[in-house]
Amino acid sequence: MTDITSAKLTEYHPNFRALNTTTVIEYVLNQTALTSLFGSSTAEDLAAEEIGDGNLNLVFRVFAPNQPGRSVIIKQALPYVRLVGESWPLTLDRARIEATALTAYQSIIPARVPHLYLYDSEMCLTVMEDLKDYVTMRKGLVAGQMYPKAGQHLGEFMAETLFRTSDFFLKPEEKKAKVVQFTNPELCRITEDLIFDEPYRPNVENNHWNPLIDQAVTQLQSEENQEVKQGVFWLRLSFMTHSEALIHGDLHTGSVMVTSSDTRIIDPEFAFYGPMGFDLGAVFANLLLNYCAQEYHIPELKPRQEFQAYLLDTARTVWQTFLGRWQALWSEHIGPEWQAGGEAFKLHLAQETLGFAGCKMIRRVVGLAHVADLETIADPQQRAAAEIRALKIGQWLIRNYGKLKHYNEFSETLAQTVLLG
Ligand code: SR1
Ligand code: MG
């Protein structure tokens, strides 16, 4: 995957040491930036747990068991991919990217991100607000919970962050400096391989899938599947070459923390200057994956239909809110040099969003990293049915994304894909 060795990585971070549940407490107590949070606490007053369930990093919660409110989250990058192990080295620079992106989000839309207390470039970690009353949106959706504000919040977040980091808002020199600052080659390479390459090729070691869907995977990867492969070609090229805005780069429902009334975006370590539709596509793909999975998570028809309708409604809200806020930003800030393309750009965004959503669905069924929505369906036959439906929807989106005629048809087009399965 990469020729950068762990030794080379630690060359740039000579004082890096991976923390554990003991050393993380000592670490916290030694940080002056955290003094106001932990007061005169000593190591005996504090406890720590490792709560990371992602694919890459260590995540600790450090808290004072007898003093509710005194707690933080510490996210530390490891010099390798946690999901795979030390055989897959990975840049520690992702901690810088994440802290810098969170800081950018903080200045654009502070209500939608956790508070960042500290970024330690030597230890490659960030210390953040503990969102202890929140769950990941993925976990909540899998459990059948509805989040009435999440759609609106996600639409606003994407419109604000994508518009305000783009050439439509920034001065050309400022924007180009940010492209440099957010250059993130190793994490982009993961996406290029895991999303836009490996799922479409046979005999790739990283790929794995439910054996009951062998036939569907053979069809996906076959030479005859040219329309899909060519769609992926253009989407991959867009991902690699279109520096439209600072994108989160991994905005699936596991990167969204929710309560019934609030939404926070976390984990922007894949952030870089890329195509805006990639973030939008990630959100829609994960709502659709959950839709497919709910067929088997909710056995009774009526509650299932209600929940699936809620998912489509959330998707609609994300898109409508995004468009509304985007248009408001456009009307307020756009210069005369950009006036001519406003409508065409929204169509371009809607099209690419559909295409990227398709790719993001397929990778979660066939590629290296799967999602709990599907993986928690206990019966392999039922899981296979949900996965086949996801593959059908994903491929349809890739074949058809360029055929969308107007951005106002986006939500209807997305909603109709679920009739395919
Ligand atoms: C090897 S990393 C696998 C996946 O985990 C992250 O969350 C990204 O989605 C990445 O593609
Ligand atoms: Mg992540």
CA dihedral 269, 271, 272, 274 (to 10 degrees): 140
Is any atom of ligand 1 closer than 6 Å to the C-beta of 359?
no
Residue of minimum CA distance from atom 3 in ligand 1: 369
CA–CA distances in Å: residue 131 to residues 71, 109, 114, 220: 9, 17, 7, 40
Amino acid at 317: T
Q: How confident is the model at residue 9 (pLDDT cuts 50, 70, 90)?
A: low
Of 12-16, 137-141, 298-302, the one with minimum mean pLDDT is 12-16
State the first-to-last Cα distance of the chain, in angstroms, to the nearest integer: 35
What ligand has the least distance to the C-alpha of 269?
2
DSSP 114: P
> How many residues appear in the chain?
421
CA–CA distances in Å: residue 296 to residues 12, 208, 373: 48, 21, 10
CA 330 to ligand 1 center in whole angstroms: 33
Phi, psi at 83, each rounded to 5°: -60, -30
Q: How confident is the model at residue 69 (pLDDT cuts 50, 70, 90)?
A: confident
What ligand has the least distance to the C-alpha of 136?
2
Is any atom of ligand 1 closer than 6 Å to the C-beta of 206?
no
CA 262 to ligand 2 center in whole angstroms: 20
Question: What angle separates helix 226-241 from helix 380-400, to the nearest 10 degrees?
Answer: 70
Is any atom of ligand 1 closer than 6 Å to the C-beta of 216?
no
Give yes or no for residue 7 having a pLDDT over 80: no
Is any atom of ligand 1 closer than 6 Å to the C-beta of 83?
yes
Mean pLDDT across the stretch 307-328? 98
